Amino acid sequence: MSTAPRKTTYREAAREAIREAMLRDPRVFLMGEDVGRYGGCYAVSKGLLQEFGEERIRDTPLSESAFVGAGIGAALGGMRPIVEVMSVNFSLLALDQIVNNAATIPHMSGGQFAVPLVMRMPTGSGRQVAAQHSHSLEGWYAHIPGLKIVAPATLEDVRGMLWTALEDPNPVLIFEHVQLYNMEGELSPAAGPVPIAGAAIRRPGRDLSIITYGGSLPKCLAAAEALATDGIEAEVIDLRSLRPLDDATIMASVARTRRVLIVDEGWRSGGLSAEISARIVEQAFYELDAPPARLCGVEVPIPYPKHLEDASVPQAESIRLAARALVRPA
C-alpha cells in the first residue's frame, strides 16, 4: 500500500474517518437525517450504507430531539454512536438532550455513567441556504461544561479528530464548516489520530497574532499572505478546540507579537471572540501594545443573496484591512 500523500477533499477525508472508525470498532455506527440512502446532506456519508448496511448507517425520522436522545442512550449502553445533525441550526431542537442530558449525566451520576457520544454538524455560511441553515452557533455550545467542542479546519484534523473523539468518555461535538467540504489538498494515508485539545500555529509571524478557527482559517491565511507583501508578518493560530481553549498557545503568541486580532464568523455580542479577548486581557495585559481587536459576523440573520451573505461575515480582504489598521493605525 502506497504511503505517498494523495489528493483528496475535506468531505472525502471526513467520510474516510467515519469508514475507518466503523472498520476498527463494531460498536461505532452513524445515525441522522438522510445519512443513508441520500448519502448525507453534504454527501459525507455517500456509499457507506452500501458498505455497512442499515444496522450501522441509520436514517432517522426528522426529529433531532428523538435521534440525539437515542444516541445518548446508545452511548450509555456501551455503543459508540456518531450522530449527524443536518445543520447546526437544527441542533437547537435537541438542546434539552445535549445540554441537560449528555453534558450533565456524568456529573449527576457521580461519575458512574459516561456519555461517549460524538455529534457532527455542518456550521457556517457561504452556500446561500439562508438564515435557518447558515449560522455559527458553536460558540454557544462552548459555553457548556461537560461538552468538548472541536472545529477541524484541515484535512488532517477532520480525518484524525473523529477517532480521538470516539475514544473520549465525554460527549464531543464536531463542527464542520460548510465552505470547507470542497477544499482540496494532500493527505497521507498514514495520517493518524489528532488530539481534540490544543491550538496550532498555522503560520508564524512577528507583528500580530490572528486567532481563528474553522471556515475562517483559509481566509486568515490568505489575508496573512497579502499582509506579507506589505511588510506585515501575521502569525495565524487555528484554535481547533473551542472547549477547552488552549490558553497557553494563545498567550505565548500574544507575548511574541504584542497585537492580536480575533476573527470569528459568529456574532460579536456575547460570542467566543469576547471570551478569548477577556482571557488575553486577564492573562497577558502587560504584553499588549494595543487593545485586542475583534472581527466578527454582522449582527443580522445570515442573508440569502450572495453579495449580502459575503458581506455579513469576515472575508480575506476585511481581515487584511483590520490587521493592517491594528499594526499601522492611521
Question: Are 181 and 241 members of one domain?
Answer: no
- Among 136, 161, 187, which residue terminates a domain? 187
Nearest to 149 by CA among 131, 132, 127, 168: 168
The CA-based angle 84-149-103, given to 5 degrees, is: 80
Residue 124 forms part of a structural domain: yes
Instruction: Kindly give the pairing relationship between strand 200-203 and strand 28-32.
Output: unpaired
Among residues 160, 187, 214, the one where a domain terminates is: 187
Average pLDDT over residues 99-107: 97
Q: Where in the sequence numbering do the catalytic residues fall? A: 64, 133
pLDDT at 128: 85
Average per-residue pLDDT in the chain? 95
Q: CATH number for the domain including 59?
A: 3.40.50.970
What is the pLDDT at residue 32? 97
pLDDT band at residue 239, thresholds of 50, 70 and 90? very high
Q: Which of 60-69, 133-142, 185-194, 294-303 has the lowest mean pLDDT?
A: 185-194
Asked if residue 193 belongs to a domain, the reply is no
Which pLDDT value is given to residue 254? 97
> CATH number of the domain that 310 lies in?
3.40.50.920
Q: What is the pLDDT of residue 3?
A: 65
Under the banding of pLDDT at 50, 70 and 90, the label for residue 329 is confident
Answer yes or no: is 92 within a domain: yes
179 found inside a domain: yes
Domain around 93: 6-187
Please check whether residues 105 and 157 belong to one and the same domain.
yes
- What are the distances in angstroms from CA 122 to CA 23, 53, 119, 126, 151? 24, 24, 10, 12, 10
- Say whether both 132 and 261 belong to one domain: no
Give this prediction's pTM: 0.95
- Based on the domain organization, do 181 and 317 belong to the same domain? no
pLDDT at 1 over 60: no
